[in-house]
Structure formats: C-alpha cells, structure tokens
Amino acid sequence: METFTLQTPTQEAGLATAMEVVYQWNYDPEVDELRSLYVKAAEAQWIGARDIDWERPIDLARFATTPLGAGIPIEKTSYWRSLPGETLVELTRRTAAFRLSQFLHGEQGALMVAAQLVNAVPHTDAKFYAATQTMDEARHVEVFARYIEKLDEIRPIAPSLKGILDQTLTTGDWMKKLVGMQIVVEGLALYAFREMRNLTQEPLLRDLLTYVARDESRHHAYGVQYIERCVPCLDAAARAELEDFAVECARSLIDRNAQGFFTTLLGIWQEVGVDPVAMLSSLHDEREEITRELPPGRRLGPVQGFVIPTLRRCGLLSERVAARFHEFLRENFGSRVAGVNVEEFLANLPDLPADTARWVVGELQ
Ligand SMILES: [Fe+2]
Ligand SMILES: [Fe+2]
C-alpha cells in the first residue's frame, strides 16, 4: 500500500489568492435561466468509470484521424502528406497526448475556479450552478487523465496556459474569473472538443468527448447568461478593464510566440524525426492556399469562431478591443482568417450557434 503523506512530490507550492467570500441570504430563485441550468446540470450527471467502456483498446490507426488543432490545419500541407504512415501515427499520438494534457490541466484549473465561484459570486442561483460545474470538472479531470495514460503519457502544462489559470485563480474580481474561465478558457475548450470529437474516428475518445462537451456547453451557457446580465451594471472603466482581461487571456492562449505551446510542438516533431524547418516552410508557403477555400462568415478557429462572438454577445466587444483582436489574429493566422481590416473582421464574425448543446455534437454548423 502506498504511504499517505501531506506533501507529495507532484504538488506545487500554494498559490495565494485574493478572493472574497460572499454570503447571500436570499434563497429564492432570482435569475431563472441560471436556476433552470442548475436543474439541467443535476439531471445530466454521469459517472466516468460506469458510463464509458474503458476496456476498449485504443486503435492507433483510427486515432491518426484525430485533428491536431493547429490554427491552420498542418495536416493539409504537402510536407505532412509526404510523411510515411508510421511517422504520422506516432506524430498524431504524441501531439494529441500533449494537447489532451493541456485539456486535462485546464480541467483542473476549471475545477478550482468553479469551486471559487461558489464562494465569490453574489447570487444564489449562480452559486448553485457553480456547484454543479465543480462536480462536472472533477469528472473531466478524471476521464482525461485516464485516457491520456492509456494513449501515451501526461505531458506538463504549457507555461502560457498556466499563466492564465494563475491569473484567473488569483484575481479578486469574480467577474474576471467568469470572463477568464467561462468565456475564454471554456470557449476554447468547447471549440477544440467539438472539433476533436467530430473528426476523430477513435471510438473511446469520441465517447468521452461527447460526455465532456455536453457538460461544457452548459458551462459556456452559464458564463453567457450570467455575464450578459452583469455587464450592463458596470461603469465604463470597469467594463473596459474586463474587456482587456479577456483580450489578454485569449492572446496568451493562441499567440504562437507565447511561451510553451509552440516550442513543445517543435520538440515533439523532432522526437519522431520530422524536420521542423521543412514542416514550417511548407506551412508558410501553403498557408494562403490552405485557407483560401474557407468561406467568409465561417468559424475559423476557437477565438474568431467562438470566443469573440461570445464576448460580443455579452457586451464585451467594443471597437477598441475589436481592433486589438483583429491585430493579433492577423499576425498569427493571416488576413484570410482575420480579415484585411477591422470592418471586414467584424463583418465576417459568425454568430454564436443557436443551440450550443447541439452544435457541439456536430448537429449544427
Ligand atoms: Fe471541463
Ligand atoms: Fe467546463
């Protein structure tokens, strides 16, 4: 039997946070849509060990269909297509393990932020809902860890993701916690889970992501429904501060120059014998061609396709921050994705799906 200790070698030093705990003496339903979301969440609980069949081995050939989620699909480059089958299988397995590890660590962050929200949000319905989300996130941590260990190995958190989680956990402002977690991190996750779920032909991963993505669509709904009520109550300065927080979170998650993600991916390519220079120059040369087919008004990645539309819906996309979003999207993905100017960027911004729960399982575009 393993020895139980208070300190384990895998735990980090404690992070001091500035959160205020808020009692609320009104227990009557007050925000109806949050109360019904809470009931829906309670009804939709599932159990990782019981409801998913873990006995199935992972079929690596089928696993190779799993998308890698780069901003521009590197799977479409000529260099990628020239690689031998075994290299592609290995590359997909390791890259996916890295990506799934980021999901896993993000889920741990979500677990802790959701638990903080129980304490910090001032409305009873919002506390109730955050309690159900806390349970959901615990389950997500459990199932992702189990899957990655079956697939490969858990890789460390990318510093840029850790930075956002730290910022969201340490801020004393509960609305920033909502924006950082429920809009930016959850928005990116939901988009990525959807894409992975709908394209992978690996049945166990697909099952797991179906359960997780359904929960995440409620988490996103919580953010939207709560924040869109809160934003009109803010003065201009507070609203601008919240907008800036959202931009910084989104930027550090997708910026290619941000510490971590990209360097690790290059490392993985080298591990399996892929030449990063050849891969990148193929991507660079073919970027316009690969993105040319994409019609305007479509979702072209998590930030343009989901996070920014969510911010717009919540009243957090002023012209000022739209210009900043446009600028960093264009730097990272080029004008075909971002639009040549802010006007085009805003005109091509898709609306949020009419029904996120159906969108996430591929029933809506
Ligand atoms: Fe989650
Ligand atoms: Fe979540």
pLDDT score at 283: 83
pLDDT band at 3 (very low <50, low <70, confident <90, very high): confident
276-292 helix and 261-271 helix, angle to the nearest 10 degrees: 120
The one-character DSSP state at 178 is: I
Q: Which ligand is nearest to the CA of 138?
A: 1
pLDDT band at 339 (very low <50, low <70, confident <90, very high): confident
- Give the Å distance between the CA of 110 and the centre of ligand 1: 6
* Residue 124 in this model has a pLDDT that exceeds 60: yes
- Give the burial class of 102: count Cβ atoms within 10 A of its Cβ; 0-12 exposed, 13-18 middle, 19 or more buried: buried
Task: Write 254-257 long-range contacts (CB < 8 A, 24+).
Answer: 254/71, 254/188, 254/301, 254/302, 254/303, 254/328, 254/332, 255/160, 255/328, 255/332, 256/71, 256/332
Q: Which ligand is nearest to the CA of 107?
A: 1
pLDDT score at 77: 86
pLDDT score at 253: 76
Surrounding ion ligand 2 within 5 Å at CB are 110, 186, 216, 219
Report the mean per-residue pLDDT for the chain.
Answer: 90
* Residue 50 in this model has a pLDDT that exceeds 90: yes
- Give the Å distance between the CA of 181 and the centre of ligand 2: 8
* Residue 265 in this model has a pLDDT that exceeds 90: no
* Residue 259 in this model has a pLDDT that exceeds 60: no
pLDDT score at 221: 95
- Give the Å distance between the CA of 39 and the centre of ligand 2: 17
pLDDT score at 258: 59
pLDDT score at 224: 96
Mean pLDDT of 178-193: 92
- Give the Å distance between the CA of 178 and the centre of ligand 2: 11
Q: Which ligand is nearest to the CA of 113?
A: 2
Q: Which ligand is nearest to the CA of 220?
A: 2
* Residue 291 in this model has a pLDDT that exceeds 80: no
- Give the Å distance between the CA of 5 and the centre of ligand 1: 28
pLDDT band at 256 (very low <50, low <70, confident <90, very high): low
pLDDT score at 39: 97
- Give the Å distance between the CA of 356 and the centre of ligand 2: 13
pLDDT band at 250 (very low <50, low <70, confident <90, very high): confident
DSSP assignment of 272-311 equals TT--HHHHHHHHHHHHHHHHHTPPTTS--SHIIIIIHHHH
* Residue 190 in this model has a pLDDT that exceeds 80: yes
pLDDT score at 254: 73
pLDDT above 90 covers a percentage of the chain that reads 64
Q: Which residues contact 195 (CB under 8 A, 6 or more apart)?
A: 67, 69
pLDDT score at 280: 85
- Give the Å distance between the CA of 137 and the centre of ligand 2: 6
Q: Which ligand is nearest to the CA of 182?
A: 2
Surrounding ion ligand 1 within 5 Å at CB are 107, 110, 137, 140
